[in-house]
Amino acid sequence: MKGRRLATSLILILLLLMPFSYPSNIGLEMNHESMYDDGDGDANETTNEINRSELFASLPIWSIGDSWTYTVSLDAVSLVEEAETIEGASLDILTGTATRTVSAIYESSVNGSSPEYIVTTILGAVGSGVFPQGPVDISGNLIIGMAEVMRVRVSDLAIVHISRDFDIDFSAGPVQLDMADVVENTSYSPSYEFYDFPIRESDVHFLSIERSTTWVGDGLVSFPGDTVVNNTDRETIPVERIESSLLSYPCPSEAISISEMASDGVLIEEHHYCSDVKNDVYWFTEDVGLNGVKGTFNLISYTPAGSTPGTQLPAEVIVELEQDDIGKELPFNVSVSTKSSDGSATSRTIHLYTMDEMIESSTSNGELILTINSTKLEDSTISVDDWSSHAIIACIGHDSSTLTYTDCGAAEITIQGSAMGAVIREETVSGIVSIIGDLSSSSEQATRLIRL
Protein backbone atom coordinates (compact mmCIF):
# COMPACT_ATOMS: atom_id res chain seq x y z
CA MET A 1 0.00 0.00 0.00
CA LYS A 2 2.79 2.44 0.86
CA GLY A 3 4.45 1.85 -2.51
CA ARG A 4 1.16 2.52 -4.29
CA ARG A 5 0.61 5.80 -2.39
CA LEU A 6 4.15 6.92 -3.14
CA ALA A 7 3.70 6.22 -6.85
CA THR A 8 0.42 8.15 -6.88
CA SER A 9 2.01 11.14 -5.15
CA LEU A 10 4.97 11.14 -7.55
CA ILE A 11 2.60 11.18 -10.51
CA LEU A 12 0.73 14.14 -8.98
CA ILE A 13 3.98 16.06 -8.57
CA LEU A 14 4.93 15.39 -12.20
CA LEU A 15 1.49 16.59 -13.34
CA LEU A 16 1.86 19.75 -11.26
CA LEU A 17 5.34 20.56 -12.53
CA MET A 18 4.77 19.77 -16.20
CA PRO A 19 3.42 23.25 -17.14
CA PHE A 20 6.55 24.83 -15.66
CA SER A 21 9.13 22.68 -17.52
CA TYR A 22 10.61 23.87 -20.79
CA PRO A 23 7.80 23.75 -23.36
CA SER A 24 7.94 21.56 -26.42
CA ASN A 25 7.60 22.97 -29.93
CA ILE A 26 4.02 21.74 -30.03
CA GLY A 27 3.23 23.65 -26.86
CA LEU A 28 4.69 26.85 -28.35
CA GLU A 29 2.67 26.53 -31.53
CA MET A 30 -0.55 26.11 -29.56
CA ASN A 31 0.24 29.37 -27.72
CA HIS A 32 -1.66 28.42 -24.58
CA GLU A 33 -1.77 31.13 -21.89
CA SER A 34 -1.66 30.07 -18.27
CA MET A 35 -4.27 31.47 -15.90
CA TYR A 36 -1.39 32.41 -13.62
CA ASP A 37 1.22 34.78 -15.13
CA ASP A 38 4.68 34.77 -13.60
CA GLY A 39 6.21 37.79 -15.29
CA ASP A 40 7.05 40.69 -13.00
CA GLY A 41 5.41 43.16 -15.34
CA ASP A 42 2.29 41.09 -15.93
CA ALA A 43 1.52 40.89 -12.21
CA ASN A 44 0.49 44.55 -12.22
CA GLU A 45 -1.59 44.45 -15.38
CA THR A 46 -5.20 43.57 -15.95
CA THR A 47 -5.36 40.01 -17.27
CA ASN A 48 -7.42 38.85 -20.20
CA GLU A 49 -11.12 38.79 -19.40
CA ILE A 50 -11.94 35.76 -17.30
CA ASN A 51 -15.06 33.83 -18.16
CA ARG A 52 -16.70 33.93 -14.73
CA SER A 53 -19.57 31.68 -13.74
CA GLU A 54 -23.05 33.13 -13.12
CA LEU A 55 -23.15 35.52 -10.17
CA PHE A 56 -25.38 34.12 -7.42
CA ALA A 57 -24.86 36.59 -4.56
CA SER A 58 -22.94 39.78 -3.81
CA LEU A 59 -21.71 41.07 -0.46
CA PRO A 60 -24.68 42.33 1.61
CA ILE A 61 -24.57 45.64 3.45
CA TRP A 62 -26.02 45.39 6.95
CA SER A 63 -27.39 48.34 8.91
CA ILE A 64 -27.58 48.83 12.65
CA GLY A 65 -30.98 47.45 13.65
CA ASP A 66 -31.25 44.71 11.00
CA SER A 67 -32.72 41.66 12.71
CA TRP A 68 -33.40 37.99 11.88
CA THR A 69 -35.38 35.49 13.98
CA TYR A 70 -34.95 31.72 13.59
CA THR A 71 -36.52 28.58 14.96
CA VAL A 72 -33.82 26.48 16.61
CA SER A 73 -33.21 22.78 17.12
CA LEU A 74 -30.27 21.82 19.34
CA ASP A 75 -28.78 18.35 19.66
CA ALA A 76 -27.20 18.72 23.09
CA VAL A 77 -26.74 15.01 23.82
CA SER A 78 -22.97 15.56 24.02
CA LEU A 79 -23.56 17.75 27.07
CA VAL A 80 -24.87 14.89 29.21
CA GLU A 81 -23.00 11.99 27.59
CA GLU A 82 -19.63 13.32 28.69
CA ALA A 83 -20.67 14.70 32.09
CA GLU A 84 -19.46 12.32 34.81
CA THR A 85 -21.47 14.09 37.51
CA ILE A 86 -24.78 13.19 35.79
CA GLU A 87 -23.90 9.76 34.42
CA GLY A 88 -26.95 7.97 33.04
CA ALA A 89 -28.80 11.14 32.03
CA SER A 90 -30.66 11.27 28.70
CA LEU A 91 -31.85 14.22 26.64
CA ASP A 92 -34.17 14.87 23.71
CA ILE A 93 -33.73 17.51 21.00
CA LEU A 94 -34.15 21.05 22.37
CA THR A 95 -36.28 23.53 20.43
CA GLY A 96 -36.71 27.29 20.68
CA THR A 97 -35.95 30.56 18.91
CA ALA A 98 -32.95 32.78 18.31
CA THR A 99 -32.92 36.46 17.30
CA ARG A 100 -29.80 37.88 15.68
CA THR A 101 -29.39 41.70 15.49
CA VAL A 102 -26.77 44.07 14.11
CA SER A 103 -26.12 46.27 17.14
CA ALA A 104 -23.08 48.39 16.18
CA ILE A 105 -20.29 49.01 13.65
CA TYR A 106 -16.79 49.37 15.07
CA GLU A 107 -13.44 50.38 13.69
CA SER A 108 -11.29 47.42 12.75
CA SER A 109 -9.17 45.79 15.42
CA VAL A 110 -7.53 43.31 13.01
CA ASN A 111 -4.82 44.82 10.79
CA GLY A 112 -6.92 47.94 10.20
CA SER A 113 -8.29 46.29 7.07
CA SER A 114 -12.04 46.39 7.63
CA PRO A 115 -14.60 47.76 10.10
CA GLU A 116 -16.55 45.17 12.04
CA TYR A 117 -20.24 44.58 12.65
CA ILE A 118 -21.15 43.74 16.23
CA VAL A 119 -23.89 41.12 15.94
CA THR A 120 -25.80 39.99 19.03
CA THR A 121 -27.90 36.84 19.32
CA ILE A 122 -30.37 35.94 22.04
CA LEU A 123 -31.32 32.24 22.08
CA GLY A 124 -33.68 30.23 24.24
CA ALA A 125 -34.39 26.50 23.87
CA VAL A 126 -36.11 23.79 25.93
CA GLY A 127 -36.09 20.00 25.72
CA SER A 128 -37.18 17.12 27.89
CA GLY A 129 -34.68 14.90 29.65
CA VAL A 130 -34.12 12.40 32.42
CA PHE A 131 -31.52 13.13 35.09
CA PRO A 132 -30.47 10.86 37.98
CA GLN A 133 -30.76 12.23 41.52
CA GLY A 134 -29.35 9.62 43.84
CA PRO A 135 -31.27 6.35 43.32
CA VAL A 136 -34.12 8.14 41.47
CA ASP A 137 -34.31 9.24 37.82
CA ILE A 138 -36.19 12.51 37.46
CA SER A 139 -37.94 13.59 34.26
CA GLY A 140 -38.07 17.29 33.47
CA ASN A 141 -36.92 20.00 31.08
CA LEU A 142 -33.47 21.21 30.19
CA ILE A 143 -33.51 24.97 29.55
CA ILE A 144 -30.70 26.68 27.64
CA GLY A 145 -30.34 30.44 27.40
CA MET A 146 -27.56 32.04 25.40
CA ALA A 147 -26.41 35.62 24.79
CA GLU A 148 -23.87 35.80 21.96
CA VAL A 149 -21.73 38.69 20.71
CA MET A 150 -20.03 38.15 17.37
CA ARG A 151 -17.48 40.36 15.59
CA VAL A 152 -17.96 40.16 11.81
CA ARG A 153 -15.88 41.92 9.15
CA VAL A 154 -17.85 44.32 6.96
CA SER A 155 -15.65 43.47 3.96
CA ASP A 156 -16.63 39.78 3.64
CA LEU A 157 -18.72 38.74 6.70
CA ALA A 158 -15.74 36.79 8.05
CA ILE A 159 -16.09 35.97 11.75
CA VAL A 160 -13.28 37.42 13.88
CA HIS A 161 -14.41 36.44 17.39
CA ILE A 162 -17.43 34.95 19.17
CA SER A 163 -18.31 35.34 22.86
CA ARG A 164 -21.20 33.26 24.23
CA ASP A 165 -22.71 33.40 27.72
CA PHE A 166 -24.69 30.22 28.50
CA ASP A 167 -27.14 29.59 31.35
CA ILE A 168 -28.25 25.92 31.48
CA ASP A 169 -30.80 24.70 34.01
CA PHE A 170 -32.83 21.53 34.63
CA SER A 171 -36.36 21.98 35.94
CA ALA A 172 -38.65 19.22 37.28
CA GLY A 173 -41.26 20.70 39.58
CA PRO A 174 -39.58 21.44 42.90
CA VAL A 175 -36.26 20.08 41.63
CA GLN A 176 -34.08 22.80 40.11
CA LEU A 177 -30.54 21.92 39.00
CA ASP A 178 -27.95 24.46 37.91
CA MET A 179 -26.37 22.52 35.07
CA ALA A 180 -23.88 25.18 33.91
CA ASP A 181 -23.21 28.89 33.86
CA VAL A 182 -20.35 29.31 31.44
CA VAL A 183 -18.81 31.96 29.21
CA GLU A 184 -17.26 30.62 26.02
CA ASN A 185 -14.85 32.67 23.87
CA THR A 186 -13.71 31.58 20.40
CA SER A 187 -11.15 33.27 18.15
CA TYR A 188 -10.22 32.35 14.58
CA SER A 189 -6.89 32.68 12.82
CA PRO A 190 -7.26 33.71 10.07
CA SER A 191 -10.74 35.17 10.45
CA TYR A 192 -13.38 32.62 9.45
CA GLU A 193 -14.52 33.61 5.94
CA PHE A 194 -17.30 31.14 5.18
CA TYR A 195 -19.02 32.84 2.22
CA ASP A 196 -16.20 34.20 -0.01
CA PHE A 197 -18.30 36.86 -1.76
CA PRO A 198 -19.00 37.38 -4.63
CA ILE A 199 -20.57 33.91 -4.78
CA ARG A 200 -20.78 32.33 -8.22
CA GLU A 201 -22.23 29.12 -9.59
CA SER A 202 -20.16 26.06 -8.65
CA ASP A 203 -17.75 28.14 -6.56
CA VAL A 204 -15.36 26.14 -4.36
CA HIS A 205 -12.85 27.57 -1.92
CA PHE A 206 -10.41 26.22 0.64
CA LEU A 207 -9.64 27.29 4.20
CA SER A 208 -7.09 26.36 6.83
CA ILE A 209 -8.25 27.68 10.21
CA GLU A 210 -6.97 27.65 13.77
CA ARG A 211 -9.81 27.94 16.27
CA SER A 212 -8.99 28.71 19.92
CA THR A 213 -11.72 28.33 22.56
CA THR A 214 -11.79 28.98 26.32
CA TRP A 215 -14.50 28.33 28.91
CA VAL A 216 -15.00 29.99 32.29
CA GLY A 217 -17.81 28.91 34.61
CA ASP A 218 -19.18 26.18 36.86
CA GLY A 219 -22.06 23.73 37.27
CA LEU A 220 -22.81 20.01 36.94
CA VAL A 221 -21.60 20.05 33.31
CA SER A 222 -17.86 20.70 33.16
CA PHE A 223 -15.80 22.16 30.34
CA PRO A 224 -12.05 22.06 29.58
CA GLY A 225 -10.00 24.23 31.92
CA ASP A 226 -7.30 24.95 29.34
CA THR A 227 -7.58 26.66 25.97
CA VAL A 228 -8.59 24.16 23.29
CA VAL A 229 -6.96 24.77 19.89
CA ASN A 230 -8.30 23.02 16.80
CA ASN A 231 -6.62 23.21 13.40
CA THR A 232 -8.83 22.24 10.48
CA ASP A 233 -8.52 22.23 6.70
CA ARG A 234 -11.89 22.95 5.16
CA GLU A 235 -13.32 22.88 1.66
CA THR A 236 -16.72 23.98 0.36
CA ILE A 237 -18.55 21.78 -2.12
CA PRO A 238 -19.75 23.48 -5.34
CA VAL A 239 -22.33 26.21 -4.73
CA GLU A 240 -25.78 25.57 -6.18
CA ARG A 241 -29.28 27.04 -6.09
CA ILE A 242 -31.99 25.70 -3.77
CA GLU A 243 -35.56 25.02 -4.86
CA SER A 244 -37.92 27.58 -3.26
CA SER A 245 -40.27 24.78 -2.16
CA LEU A 246 -37.54 23.45 0.13
CA LEU A 247 -37.23 26.69 2.09
CA SER A 248 -39.09 27.65 5.25
CA TYR A 249 -38.95 31.35 4.27
CA PRO A 250 -39.63 32.91 0.84
CA CYS A 251 -36.58 33.94 -1.20
CA PRO A 252 -37.65 35.44 -4.56
CA SER A 253 -34.05 35.71 -5.80
CA GLU A 254 -33.51 31.98 -5.05
CA ALA A 255 -31.40 30.83 -2.13
CA ILE A 256 -28.01 29.20 -2.65
CA SER A 257 -26.53 26.26 -0.79
CA ILE A 258 -23.01 26.44 0.62
CA SER A 259 -21.64 23.42 2.48
CA GLU A 260 -18.28 23.19 4.22
CA MET A 261 -16.53 19.88 4.79
CA ALA A 262 -13.52 19.02 6.95
CA SER A 263 -10.60 17.20 5.37
CA ASP A 264 -11.97 13.93 6.81
CA GLY A 265 -15.31 14.44 5.01
CA VAL A 266 -17.33 15.52 8.07
CA LEU A 267 -19.94 18.23 7.39
CA ILE A 268 -19.02 21.32 9.44
CA GLU A 269 -21.49 23.91 8.18
CA GLU A 270 -24.36 24.07 5.68
CA HIS A 271 -25.99 27.41 4.87
CA HIS A 272 -28.81 28.43 2.54
CA TYR A 273 -28.09 32.08 1.81
CA CYS A 274 -30.75 34.45 0.46
CA SER A 275 -29.83 37.87 -0.99
CA ASP A 276 -33.35 39.20 -0.33
CA VAL A 277 -32.87 38.96 3.43
CA LYS A 278 -29.09 39.56 3.37
CA ASN A 279 -28.53 36.42 5.44
CA ASP A 280 -29.22 32.71 5.72
CA VAL A 281 -32.74 31.31 5.60
CA TYR A 282 -31.36 28.03 6.94
CA TRP A 283 -28.15 26.82 8.46
CA PHE A 284 -26.72 23.80 10.21
CA THR A 285 -23.60 23.88 12.36
CA GLU A 286 -21.80 21.02 14.03
CA ASP A 287 -20.81 23.31 16.89
CA VAL A 288 -23.17 26.05 18.06
CA GLY A 289 -21.10 26.18 21.25
CA LEU A 290 -20.81 24.23 24.51
CA ASN A 291 -17.99 22.10 23.11
CA GLY A 292 -19.89 20.31 20.36
CA VAL A 293 -23.64 21.00 20.54
CA LYS A 294 -25.11 20.74 17.02
CA GLY A 295 -27.68 23.29 15.87
CA THR A 296 -30.20 23.76 13.05
CA PHE A 297 -31.75 27.17 12.33
CA ASN A 298 -34.69 28.12 10.07
CA LEU A 299 -35.61 31.76 9.40
CA ILE A 300 -39.13 32.84 10.39
CA SER A 301 -38.84 36.65 10.20
CA TYR A 302 -36.57 39.37 8.83
CA THR A 303 -36.85 42.96 10.07
CA PRO A 304 -34.77 45.55 8.17
CA ALA A 305 -33.49 48.55 10.12
CA GLY A 306 -36.00 51.38 10.23
CA SER A 307 -39.00 49.23 9.30
CA THR A 308 -40.64 49.12 12.73
CA PRO A 309 -42.81 52.01 13.98
CA GLY A 310 -40.88 54.70 15.81
CA THR A 311 -37.53 53.88 14.16
CA GLN A 312 -35.74 55.87 11.49
CA LEU A 313 -34.44 54.54 8.20
CA PRO A 314 -30.65 54.38 8.12
CA ALA A 315 -28.55 56.79 6.10
CA GLU A 316 -27.15 55.39 2.87
CA VAL A 317 -23.54 55.07 1.72
CA ILE A 318 -23.13 53.92 -1.89
CA VAL A 319 -19.73 52.75 -3.12
CA GLU A 320 -19.15 52.15 -6.84
CA LEU A 321 -15.96 50.97 -8.56
CA GLU A 322 -14.68 51.80 -12.02
CA GLN A 323 -13.51 48.18 -12.23
CA ASP A 324 -14.24 45.30 -9.87
CA ASP A 325 -12.31 42.42 -11.45
CA ILE A 326 -8.70 43.43 -11.98
CA GLY A 327 -5.00 42.59 -11.59
CA LYS A 328 -2.82 43.43 -8.62
CA GLU A 329 -1.64 46.97 -7.76
CA LEU A 330 -3.59 48.81 -10.45
CA PRO A 331 -5.04 52.33 -10.09
CA PHE A 332 -8.81 52.60 -10.40
CA ASN A 333 -11.52 55.08 -9.44
CA VAL A 334 -13.85 54.74 -6.47
CA SER A 335 -16.97 56.88 -6.23
CA VAL A 336 -18.82 57.38 -2.95
CA SER A 337 -22.31 58.85 -2.52
CA THR A 338 -23.82 59.74 0.85
CA LYS A 339 -27.54 60.21 1.44
CA SER A 340 -29.57 61.03 4.53
CA SER A 341 -32.36 58.79 5.78
CA ASP A 342 -34.89 60.61 3.57
CA GLY A 343 -32.81 59.87 0.46
CA SER A 344 -31.46 63.39 -0.12
CA ALA A 345 -27.77 63.96 -0.89
CA THR A 346 -25.75 65.12 2.10
CA SER A 347 -22.08 66.03 2.61
CA ARG A 348 -20.38 63.76 5.12
CA THR A 349 -16.92 62.93 6.41
CA ILE A 350 -16.05 59.41 5.32
CA HIS A 351 -13.48 56.78 6.25
CA LEU A 352 -12.56 54.76 3.16
CA TYR A 353 -11.04 51.31 3.75
CA THR A 354 -9.06 49.90 0.83
CA MET A 355 -7.83 46.74 2.62
CA ASP A 356 -4.35 48.31 2.56
CA GLU A 357 -5.15 51.47 4.50
CA MET A 358 -7.84 53.80 5.81
CA ILE A 359 -8.27 57.15 4.03
CA GLU A 360 -10.22 60.02 5.58
CA SER A 361 -12.01 62.32 3.15
CA SER A 362 -15.43 63.91 2.66
CA THR A 363 -18.21 64.08 0.12
CA SER A 364 -19.20 67.39 -1.49
CA ASN A 365 -22.94 67.59 -2.12
CA GLY A 366 -22.99 63.91 -1.38
CA GLU A 367 -20.37 62.88 -3.98
CA LEU A 368 -16.68 61.91 -3.90
CA ILE A 369 -14.32 60.28 -6.41
CA LEU A 370 -10.94 58.87 -5.34
CA THR A 371 -8.22 57.02 -7.24
CA ILE A 372 -6.60 54.16 -5.32
CA ASN A 373 -4.50 51.09 -6.03
CA SER A 374 -6.02 47.63 -5.91
CA THR A 375 -5.35 45.74 -2.73
CA LYS A 376 -2.11 43.89 -2.10
CA LEU A 377 -3.60 41.66 0.56
CA GLU A 378 -4.61 38.09 -0.19
CA ASP A 379 -7.62 36.65 1.60
CA SER A 380 -7.78 33.32 3.40
CA THR A 381 -10.21 31.59 1.01
CA ILE A 382 -7.94 30.15 -1.66
CA SER A 383 -9.63 29.48 -5.00
CA VAL A 384 -8.54 28.96 -8.58
CA ASP A 385 -10.08 32.01 -10.24
CA ASP A 386 -9.08 34.75 -7.84
CA TRP A 387 -6.37 35.51 -5.33
CA SER A 388 -8.64 37.64 -3.18
CA SER A 389 -12.18 38.93 -3.03
CA HIS A 390 -12.55 41.86 -0.72
CA ALA A 391 -14.59 45.04 -0.55
CA ILE A 392 -13.78 48.72 -0.71
CA ILE A 393 -15.67 50.18 2.27
CA ALA A 394 -16.83 53.69 3.09
CA CYS A 395 -18.22 54.53 6.55
CA ILE A 396 -19.82 57.65 8.02
CA GLY A 397 -20.83 58.89 11.46
CA HIS A 398 -17.52 58.18 13.15
CA ASP A 399 -17.42 58.66 16.93
CA SER A 400 -13.83 59.00 18.14
CA SER A 401 -14.78 58.27 21.75
CA THR A 402 -16.53 54.95 21.07
CA LEU A 403 -14.65 54.13 17.83
CA THR A 404 -17.92 53.40 16.09
CA TYR A 405 -19.69 54.29 12.83
CA THR A 406 -23.38 54.82 12.16
CA ASP A 407 -23.45 53.47 8.58
CA CYS A 408 -21.21 51.83 5.99
CA GLY A 409 -21.35 50.97 2.32
CA ALA A 410 -19.15 48.66 0.29
CA ALA A 411 -18.38 47.38 -3.21
CA GLU A 412 -16.62 44.12 -3.96
CA ILE A 413 -13.31 43.93 -5.75
CA THR A 414 -11.76 40.71 -7.04
CA ILE A 415 -8.00 40.47 -7.52
CA GLN A 416 -7.49 38.04 -10.38
CA GLY A 417 -5.57 34.83 -9.84
CA SER A 418 -2.89 35.79 -12.38
CA ALA A 419 -1.62 38.45 -9.99
CA MET A 420 -0.37 35.91 -7.48
CA GLY A 421 -0.15 32.68 -9.46
CA ALA A 422 3.53 32.08 -8.80
CA VAL A 423 3.02 32.27 -5.04
CA ILE A 424 0.13 29.80 -5.18
CA ARG A 425 2.25 27.36 -7.19
CA GLU A 426 5.16 27.60 -4.76
CA GLU A 427 2.88 26.83 -1.81
CA THR A 428 1.16 24.03 -3.74
CA VAL A 429 4.42 22.28 -4.59
CA SER A 430 5.47 22.60 -0.94
CA GLY A 431 2.17 21.07 0.13
CA ILE A 432 2.54 18.13 -2.25
CA VAL A 433 6.06 17.47 -0.99
CA SER A 434 4.74 17.45 2.57
CA ILE A 435 2.14 14.87 1.60
CA ILE A 436 4.84 12.61 0.17
CA GLY A 437 6.71 12.97 3.44
CA ASP A 438 3.67 11.59 5.22
CA LEU A 439 2.62 8.42 3.41
CA SER A 440 -0.45 8.15 5.63
CA SER A 441 -1.95 11.16 3.87
CA SER A 442 -4.69 10.35 1.40
CA SER A 443 -4.61 10.91 -2.35
CA GLU A 444 -7.72 13.06 -1.81
CA GLN A 445 -5.56 15.62 0.02
CA ALA A 446 -3.07 15.64 -2.83
CA THR A 447 -5.88 16.08 -5.34
CA ARG A 448 -7.23 19.04 -3.36
CA LEU A 449 -3.86 20.77 -3.63
CA ILE A 450 -3.51 19.96 -7.32
CA ARG A 451 -6.87 21.66 -7.99
CA LEU A 452 -5.30 24.94 -6.89
pLDDT tens profile 72-127:
999 987 776 665 556 667 788 999 999 999 999 999 765 557 899 999 999 999 99
Task: Name the phi and psi angles at 85, rounded to 5.
Answer: -70, -15
Average pLDDT value over all residues in the chain: 80
Whole-angstrom CA distances from 342 to 60, 96, 302, 313, 320 are 21, 38, 22, 8, 21
Closest CA to 199 of 383, 377, 337: 383
pLDDT, position 30? 31
pLDDT tens digits, one per residue of 342-368: 999 999 999 999 877 889 999 999 999
Over residues 419-442, mean pLDDT = 45
Q: Which residues contact 211 (CB under 8 A, 6 or more apart)?
A: 186, 187, 188, 192, 229, 230, 231, 232
What is the β-pairing status of strands 349-353 and 386-396?
A: antiparallel
As a whole number of angstroms, the distance between CA 47 and CA 39 comes to: 12
- Of 23-37, 121-135, 159-173, the one with minimum mean pLDDT is 23-37
pTM for this one? Answer: 0.80
- The H or E element containing residue 362 is strand 358-362
In order, the DSSP letters of 29-62 are HHT---SS---TTGGGSPPSPP-PPPEEE-----
Percent of the chain with pLDDT over 70: 73
pLDDT, position 354? 83
Is the confidence at residue 377, as pLDDT, over 80? no
pLDDT, position 340? 96
pLDDT tens digits, one per residue of 13-22: 444 344 433 3
As a whole number of angstroms, the distance between CA 198 and CA 55 comes to: 7
Q: What DSSP state is assigned to residue 345?
A: B
